[in-house]
Structure 1
Amino acid sequence: MEEHLKNDSVNISHLLDIIKKQGTEYLNTLADRPTSINNALIPESVDLPEYGYGTEEVLKIFNKRFEPIMVGSAGPRYLGFVTGGATPASMAGDWLSTIYDQNPQSTKGQGDISANVEIETIRFMLELLELPDSFLGGFVTGATISNFTCLAVARQWLGKAKGRDIAKEGISEPIKILTATPHSSSIKSLSLLGIGSNSIIRIKTEGSDRESICIKDLEEQIIHLNNEPFILISSGGTVNTVDFDDFTEIRKLKGKYNFWWHIDAAFGGFAACSDHYKHLVKDWEYADSITVDCHKWLNVPYESAVFLVKEEYKVLQVETFQNSNAPYLGDPLENFGYLNFLPENSRRLKALPAWFSIMAYGKKGYQYIVENNVALARNFGKLIENSDDFKLLAPVRLNTVCFTLRDDEKQDIVGKFLEMLNATGKVFMTPTVYNQQKGIRAAFVNWKTTETDVQLIFDTMNDIITKLK
C-alpha cells in the first residue's frame, strides 16, 4: 500500500481526534467568526503534488491557506440567503453519513439497504409538516433539484394529458406554466427540463405590497387557456417577503380545472411546525408536489432537501427517472429503488442528518426554532420601523425582513451601505430589489440566533449609516 495511505489508515483515530478538536474549537467560537472576508486574502493556487503529504500535513496546509477565510455562515448573525445553522444532532448524522458512506437506493436485498433510513425520515418529515402519507418523498441536494424533480413529473403528467410520453418522445409543443413570483430555482428547473422560462404566464399579485397570486387573475388566465392542461407553480413563502399563496382558493380552482399544482415551500413550509403560523399552509396537502429545503429551516448541513410527490403519480415518476436498463414489472413500489424515482443514480445518505435532528429535538424542538426565529424577525422589523434611517419594504410576515434606507433619495447608496455593513464581519445580509426599490434582506433561520445578536446587528447598522451621512 502507498506509504501515506498506509500511515493514515494506521493513524485514523489520531487523525479524527485532531479534526474533532479543530471542529470543536471552530464551533465554540462560531459566534465570533467573521461573516465575510477580504478577497485579497484568497491564496494563490498551488500545483498538484506528485506524492502527496499525508492527511495530518495537509490539514496544516489547509489551516494556513484556507481556514482563515472560512466565514461563519453557520453562525447566528449570518442572515444572508436563507442559511440555517446545523444542529449538533444533524452534525452527528452528517459525520456518520460520511463514515458509513452508503448509497441509499433499495429497501430490500443483500446490498445497501440504508434507503430504509430515508423512508423513515420522509415519514418523520410528513408528520412534522402535518402532511398526509399519500406523498412519496426522497432526499436531493437542494431546492433547485427538488423543484426540478417535481416539475419533471409534472411535465410527464402534462404530456400524458395531451396523449404524449415526453420522457421518451421529448417536448414537441409549448408547455404553459402559470405563476406569480417564482423562485429563481424554479425558473432554472424549467430551463433544464427543456420547458423554457419563456413558457411562464405571469399572474398578477394580490397588490402592490404582495407577492402572492391574485386568484381572480389566475382564474381568468386559466379560462383563457380554454381547458388546456398546465402547470401551476405557487409559493409557500416567497424569498423576499415570505408571502404565501392562498392554497384554499387554489384548491377550489383545482376542483374546477385540469392542472398540476406544485408548491415551492423551500423554507416557508416549516410554518406548519407552529400552531401560530400553520394557517399559512392550510390546504397545501391538496397539491400534487411540494418542495421543502432541509438545509434551511430544518437546520441540517448542506446539501439537503426533499421532494414530495403524490404517490398516485408513481408510475409517471418512474417513467421520468427510471434507468433504461431497469424497467419495472408491476407496481413500482413493490420493488422500490430510489434511482428510479429521482435524478441521481449515486447518492449520499442525506437523510441521516435530518433523521438525527428530528429524533433528537422532535416536534417541540422545531416548533421552538420556528417561533423563536419569527419572534426575532419581528423584533428586528420593529427596530427598522422605529428608526429614522431605515424603513420596511414589506410587512414582516414570517422570518424574513426586507428593508431599505428611509430616505428615497439615498437609493444610490443602498449597495454601498450593505457593502460596508457586511465588511464589518459582524453580520451578513443579501441585496434584493422589491417594487423597483433597492433593498436588503435578512433571513432568520438559525437556531443559534438570539436577541443579543439582533441588537448587535442593529447597532452596527446605525454605526454604518452614521458614517455615510
Structure 2
Amino acid sequence: MPHFDLTPDQRQQLFSDLLPQLEAYYTHTRDRRVAPRLDPEKIREAVARFDFTEPLGAGEAVKTVVDNLLEHQVHVPHPRYYGLYNPRANFPSILADLIAAYFNPQLAAWSHSPFAAEVETYLIREYGKKFGYDAASIDGTFTSGGAEANLTGILCALNHCYPDYANRGFRAFEGEPVVYCSDQAHHSVVKAARVVGLGLDSVVQIATDEHLCLSVTALRERLTADQRAGKVAVMVIATAGTTGTASIDALPEIADLCAAAGVWLHVDAAFGGAAALNPDYRHWLRGIDRADSITTDIHKWLSVPMGTGMFITRHPEILSQSFRTTAEYMPREGGSFSVVDPYTHTIQWSRRFLGLRMYLSLLVFGWEGYAATIRHHVEMGDYLREQLTTRGWTIAVDTPLPVVCFTWPGHPDPGTYAREICARVVESGEAWISVYPIRGVDVLRACITNYATTREDIDALVRLLDRVRQEAG
C-alpha cells in the first residue's frame, strides 16, 4: 500500500520545489498573458495523457498541474483582468487554505471543530453589525458563494411565509407563491426557484428604471395585482451591486413596501455589500439593515479564494426552522453546551473551514486594511471612467461601484462593435474585459476586482482600447 503521507523528506522536497514556482507566479503575474489562446483538444490531451495505471513521481505530478494551470487558464489574479467578480487572493487567505487543508476541520458538528465553528459565528455577527443589524439577533452561515446564499434566502423566506413548509413542502402552500426580483437580478435566483420546486414561473422579474435599478413603482403595482389575484408574495429580492452594471436598488423604498405588505426582503449584496466596510461608502447601502436576510460574498471584494460566501439574517431562529434535523450518528459531545451544530442550520453538512480565509486576513490587515483596499478599488473605477470619458467613450450606466459599462458613440451597430472590440482586447492577452447587454444592446464592461490594479494599469487598458478601436475601423 502506498504511503499517502509521503515521507518527511519527500514532503520537504516537494515544498522546496513548489514554493518557488508559486512565488514566481504570485510575484510576476502581471508578466503573463491575461488570457490563454483556447484550444479544447490540446487541453483535453494534456489532461488525458495519464490513465493512472502507472503512478508518476510526486514531483513530476505537481509540476504537471502547475505547468498546465500556467498555460490553460484566464489569470484572474492579473492586475489587468477587468472581468467578472473574480479576485486576486490576498496572501494570508492563501495560507488559510493551506492551514485548513492540513488540519482538515469538519464543520458539521460544533464539538469536532469548536474553534472553527466559533470563528465563523463571530465573523457572521461582526459582519452583520457592519450592515446595521442588532448584534443580539444576528445569525447566518458561510456558503460556497452567492448562489448558495440566495438559495438559503429563498428557503428561509418560504419557511417564514409557510410555517409548516419544512414538514409539508408544497402542500403547505395556501396560494400560488411568487418571488419578486428585478430583470437585472443574478440568475441564481431563477435557478434556486427551480431547485426548491417553485419553478421558473414563480419568479416575477420586475422592470428596471433608467439607472437599471428595480422600479419600485412597478413592484408596488405587481404586488397589489398579485395579492388581489390570490397569489402569495413569498419574498422580494433586491440587489446591491448587480452583476452586469453594479446598480444598487432603492433599498429604503423597497423596505418600506415590503414592510407594508408583510413580505420577506432579501438583499443580494454579493458584490456591493463590502461597501459597508468603508464608512465613507456605507450610505450606498442605506436601508440594508431593514432586510430580513443578506447575501454577501467574501471572495469578491474581500479578496480571498473562490468559494467563500456568507448568508446573514436578523431572524435568529429561521435557519434552524429551515434546516434543523437530527442524525443518530452525529457527535453529541457538545449537547450539554449552549452551542449550535453547523449542520443544523445550513444546506451543507460536512464542509471546509471557509471562514478561516476571512479571519486570518482580518487578523493581519484589520477592518481598516479592508476599508483602505475598498477605497482603492473605488478610486480606480472613478479613474477609469474619467480616462474613458476624456478619450471620447460614453459611460452607459452611473454607479458608484467600480464597474464601468461603456460604449463608443455614433457607431451604426454598437452591439456588434462592442463584441469586436472585446474580442480583440482578450485576444491581445494584454487585458480581459467583457460585454454586457443594456436594453438589448451589448456594451463593454470593465470591473476593478484586483487590489494590485494601478493607474498605470488603467492607462494601459485605455491605450489598448484606443488601439484596437483604430484597428477595427
Give the 3 Å change call, closer, same or farther, for CA 323–19 of structure 1 in structure 2: farther
Asked if the contact 2:116/2:356 (under 8 Å) is kept, the reply is no
Q: For residue 78 of structure 1, give the secondary structure of its aligned residue in structure 2.
A: coil
Q: Which moved more, 1:182-191 or 1:224-233?
A: 224-233
Paired position in structure 1 for 2:403: 400
User: Can you give the 5+ residue segments of structure 2 that lack an aligned partner in the other structure?
Assistant: none
Out of 422, 426, 434, which is 1:418 matched to?
Answer: 422
Per-residue Cα deviation, 1:7-55 (whole angstroms, up to 9, x for no partner): 4554212212322211111101111222111113535122422141132
Are 1:325 and 2:327 matched, yes or no?
A: yes
Q: Is the 8 A contact 1:34 1:425 kept in 2?
A: yes
What is the match of residue 264 of structure 1?
Answer: 268
Q: Which residue of 2 aligns with 1:284?
A: 288
SS of aligned partner of 1:368: helix
Residue 293 of structure 1, CA deviation: 0.6
Question: What is the distance in 2 between the residues matched to 1:98 and 1:121?
Answer: 20
Instruction: Give the counterpart of 2:468 among 460, 464, 469.
Output: 464
Which of 53, 56, 71 is matched with 2:56 structurally? 53
Name 1:132's counterpart in structure 2.
134
Over the matched positions of the two proteins, sequence identity in percent amounts to: 22
Q: TM-score, normalised to structure 1's length?
A: 0.91
Structure 2 CA distance for partners of 1:318 and 1:7, relative to 1, 3 Å: closer
**What residue in structure 1 maps to residue 32 of structure 2?**
33
C-alpha separation in 1, matches of 2:65 and 2:114: 33
SS at match of 1:171: helix
Is the CA contact (8 Å cut-off) linking 1:104 and 1:115 kept in structure 2?
yes
Quickly say closer, same or farther: Cα 1:98–1:70, change in 2 above 3 A.
Answer: same
Give the aligned residue type for 2:2: E
Q: Pick the aligned partner of 1:362 from 362, 366, 372.
A: 366
Asked if the contact 1:377/1:396 (under 8 Å) is kept, the reply is no
CA distance in 2, matches of 1:111, 1:277: 36
1:113 CA displacement = 4.7
Change (3 A) 1:343 1:332: farther
Residue aligning to 1:445 = 449
Counterpart check, 1:145 vs 2:144: no
| Cα contact 2:36–2:429 (8 A) shared by 1 | yes
| Contiguous gaps of at least 5 residues in structure 1 | none
Change (3 A) 1:326 1:460: farther
Aligned with 1:170: secondary structure?
Answer: helix
Q: CA deviation at 1:213?
A: 2.1
1:156 deviation in Å?
Answer: 1.5
Alignment map for 1:189-338 (pairs within 5 Å): 189-205=192-208, 207=209, 209-224=210-225, 225-226=227-228, 228-312=232-316, 314=317, 316-323=318-325, 325=327, 334-338=338-342
- 8 Å contact from structure 2 (residues 133, 314) kept in 1: no
CA separation of 1:421 and 1:339: change in aligned 2, threshold 3 A: same
* Further displaced range: 63-72 or 297-306: 63-72
Structure 2 counterpart of 1:171? 170
Distance 1:110 1:378 in 2: 47
- 1:24 equivalent in alignment to 2:27: no
Amino acid corresponding to residue 365 of structure 1 in structure 2? G
Amino acid at match of 1:32: D
Contact 1:241 1:397 in 2 (8 A): no
- One-letter code aligned to 2:298: C
How far off is 1:168 after superposition? 2.6
| Contact 1:422-1:429 within 8 A present in 2 as well | yes
Checking the alignment, whether the CA contact within 8 Å between 2:128 and 2:312 is kept in structure 1 is: no
C-alpha distance in 1 between matches for 2:128 and 2:337:
18
Q: 2:181, 2:238 within 8 Å by CA — same for their partners in 1?
A: yes
Task: Give the structure-2-normalised TM-score.
Answer: 0.90
Corresponding letter in the other structure for 2:161: L
CA contact (8 A) 1:74 1:85 kept: yes
Instruction: Tell me the secondary structure at the aligned position of residue 442 of structure 1.
Output: strand
Equivalent residue for 1:96?
99
The one-letter code of the counterpart of 1:175 is P
What is the SS of the residue equivalent to 2:444? strand
How far apart, in 2, do the equivalents of 1:398 and 1:332 lie? 47
CA, structure 1 residues 201+65, in 2 after alignment: closer, same or farther (shift >3 Å)? closer
2:347 pairs with 343, 349, 353, which one? 343
Q: Secondary structure at the match of 2:260?
A: coil
Distance 1:65 1:254, change over 3 A: closer
The aligned amino acid for 1:322 is: R
Q: 1:179 to 1:6 in 2, by over 3 A?
A: closer
AA of the residue aligned to 1:132: D
What is the deviation of 1:335? 4.1
Deviates more, 1:348-357 or 1:429-438: 429-438
Whole-angstrom distance in 2 between the partners of 1:129 and 1:75: 30
Superposition RMSD on alpha carbons, in Å?
Answer: 2.5
Aligned mates of 1:241, 1:337 — CA distance in 2 = 38
Letter in 1 for 2:27: N
Alignment check: 8 A CA contact 1:128 1:363 kept: no
Mapping for residues 4-19 of structure 1, pairs under 5 Å = 5=4, 7-8=6-7, 10-19=9-18
**CA shift in 2, pair 1:259/1:327, >3 Å:** farther
The superposition leaves residues 193-234 of structure 1 with CA deviations (integer Å, 9 ceiling, x where unpaired) of: 1112221223232x3x22222222322222221484421010
Counterpart residue number, 1:75: 78
The answer (yes or no) to whether the contact 1:31–1:72 under 8 Å persists in 2 is no
Q: Alpha carbons of 1:308 and 1:277: their partners in 2 closer, same or farther (altered >3 Å)? A: same
Could you tell me how far apart the structure 2 residues matched to 1:35 and 1:459 are? 16
The count of aligned residue pairs is 457
Report the CA distance shift for 1:306/1:64 in structure 2 as closer, same or farther (over 3 A): closer
Contact 2:236 2:258 in 1 (8 A): no
Q: Which residue of 2 aligns with 1:116?
A: 118
